[in-house]
Structure 1
Amino acid sequence: MSDATAGPMTDLDFAVAAYTEDGNWTVTPLVLRGEPDLSTLVSALRRYAGEAGVLGMVSVDEDFFVLVRVFGSHARFLISDVTAATEWPLARQVVDELDIPLDDDDDEQVPAGDLTIVADLGMSAMDLGALCDDVDLLPEEMLEEVAETLGFGNQFHDAIEAVG
């Protein structure tokens, strides 16, 4: 059976790409087969040519999220919780890409990477950092808040419903 909907192959909750064309947001599910890999994710995002680049939003096992913003050959990254790198290959790849030393004894949930990743789109680094610090929210809820703030909440919701 080669049907991609036969069942989940990873603990990926969802992955979507969001970008603007003529000032309008488009959000589309990303098809990532097997265990999510950072280079595969960045390559998948490069297929979309938004006016301000393309924003990848990935949620893994209701544990953490990754934001990737690709513009041309440049990519910027944010992970909601560096401690996820001790358990998840994708998280480890992001932490390695950011060149952040990982302390296996540190269990404090903290974001890492570029908190200004969406500042020019409407969400300040301070607001994004505060959102990442809210331990009561699931990664999906955090990304939903980012989408709402940036102006594509409905499209985001429709895209993750299409995945689920």
Structure 2
Amino acid sequence: MDDTAVDFAVAAWREDNLWQLVTLPPRASESLDLMIDALRAQPGETGTIGFVSIAEELFIILRVRGEDVRLLISDVFAAEDWPLGVDALDRLGIPEEVEFEDSEPAGDLRIVDDLGIGPEEIELLLDDPDMWPDEVLASIAARIGFGEQFDAALEQLPD
């Protein structure tokens, strides 16, 4: 994972009303297309959610339901520095020549609205300067209902 600086990538989905969660192999985070393919491989009732943390600087949330792909980038400024971040910016149609001077999110702030976390709450989490990307994702996972599985998955990752 060093080439892409991905800290971790996980997929979560509901099956028989229970949340399932797996860590994704490093190859899944080599490109956004590979990540989408890995998420499509899961049998989620409400689609599959992917959480990716990159270089402890930013995160990407993906939501895949069939052909529908939704995306949220926590920090467009930081995304420009990482291959997966650039793929995500391209997918959102944000041209490379746009210069960002500050951290701001891009994409769908309503990505998990139907699961109980609206855009206002996501913005509050993103605006908290004391939270690292993995902490924001852990908070979102807990509020959706798979926080314990998320924490357990991260504990199993090599240092």
Aligned residues: 157
Corresponding residue of 1:23: 17
Return closer, same or farther for 1:9/1:76 CA change in 2, 3 Å cut-off: same
Structure 2: runs of 5 or more not aligned? none
User: Does the 8 A contact of 2:28 with 2:34 survive in 1?
Assistant: no
Aligned-partner Cα distance in 1 for 2:26–2:144: 24
CA offsets, 1:40-99, max 9 Å, x none?
Answer: 100111110111000000001101000000001111000000012321111111111111
Residue in structure 2 matching 1:136, options 130, 139, 159: 130
Matched, 1:89 2:89: no
**TM superposition shift of 1:10:** 4.1
Corresponding residue SS for 2:27: coil
Aligned-partner Cα distance in 2 for 1:11–1:97: 19
Matched, 1:12 2:6: yes
Matched, 1:39 2:2: no
Aligned-partner Cα distance in 1 for 2:144–2:106: 20
Aligned-partner Cα distance in 2 for 1:70–1:145: 20
Corresponding residue of 1:3: none
Residue in structure 2 matching 1:73, options 47, 64, 67: 67
Matched, 1:109 2:93: no
TM-score (normalizing by structure 1): 0.89
**TM superposition shift of 1:101:** 3.5
The amino acid of 2:126's aligned partner reads C
Q: Once the two structures are aligned, what percentage of the paired residues are identical? A: 43
Structure 1: runs of 5 or more not aligned? 1-6
Matched, 1:155 2:149: yes
The amino acid of 2:86's aligned partner reads R
Corresponding residue SS for 1:42: helix
Corresponding residue of 2:46: 52
CA offsets, 1:2-29, max 9 Å, x none?
Answer: xxxxx85542110000000111111110
Aligned-partner Cα distance in 1 for 2:52–2:67: 20
Corresponding residue SS for 2:78: helix
Aligned-partner Cα distance in 1 for 2:37–2:73: 18
Corresponding residue SS for 2:14: strand
